[in-house]
């Protein structure tokens, strides 16, 4: 037992000592991409969801809004996001964004390949991700 414990300690030391672990902050803000201040987190028990969303080439999403805080990471493709106030954001693979909350907007994939975006939602069990207009 003592040998096994020593082995695990040695192994964990080697893993953490390996200098190839890297951490890069992709997005960090108290505001969404359009400059709006983020709302407070809900007082109910939180539920975090992570979705991979694929938007086909040459597709325009319907006008919608997110009632909860969410952030995304563009894995593939490019996407234009437009608010009902005509504020525009152009995203490409590798970009991260903190999405607008309770603001009407839509996305457009004007490219020839599907868009893949991983989106993190911070809500509750009862929260909807999006509401269509």
Residue 85 lies in a domain: yes
- What's the rounded Cα separation, in Å, for the pair 62 and 60? 7
Residue 43 lies in a domain: yes
Range of the domain at 45: 26-132
pLDDT attached to residue 4 = 42
Six-digit token string for 5: 């414990």
Residue 17 lies in a domain: no
Residue 64 lies in a domain: yes
Residue-wise pLDDT for 63-99, tens only, equals 999 999 999 999 999 999 999 999 999 999 999 999 9
pLDDT attached to residue 19 = 73
Residue 8 lies in a domain: no
Residue 93 lies in a domain: yes
Q: What residue ranges of the chain have pLDDT lower than 70?
A: 1-18
Q: How many domains would you assign to the chain?
A: 1
CA 75 → CA 81, 91, 94, distances in Å? 16, 10, 6
Residue 2 lies in a domain: no
DSSP secondary structure letter of residue 111: S
pLDDT attached to residue 17 = 55
CATH number at residue 66: 2.60.120.10
């Amino acid at each position: 037992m003592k040998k096994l414990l020593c082995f695990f300690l040695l192994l964990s030391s080697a893993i953490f000592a390996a200098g190839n672990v890297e951490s890069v902050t992709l997005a960090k803000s108290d505001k969404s991409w359009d400059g709006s201040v983020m709302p407070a987190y809900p007082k109910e028990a939180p539920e975090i969801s992570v979705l991979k969303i694929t938007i086909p080439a040459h597709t325009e999403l319907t006008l919608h809004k997110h009632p909860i805080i969410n952030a995304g990471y563009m894995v593939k493709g490019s996407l234009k996001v437009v608010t009902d106030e005509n504020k525009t954001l152009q995203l490409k693979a590798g970009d991260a964004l903190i999405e607008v909350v309770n603001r009407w907007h839509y996305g457009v994939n004007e490219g020839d390949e599907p868009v893949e975006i991983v989106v993190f939602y911070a809500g509750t069990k009862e929260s909807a991700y999006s509401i269509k207009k």
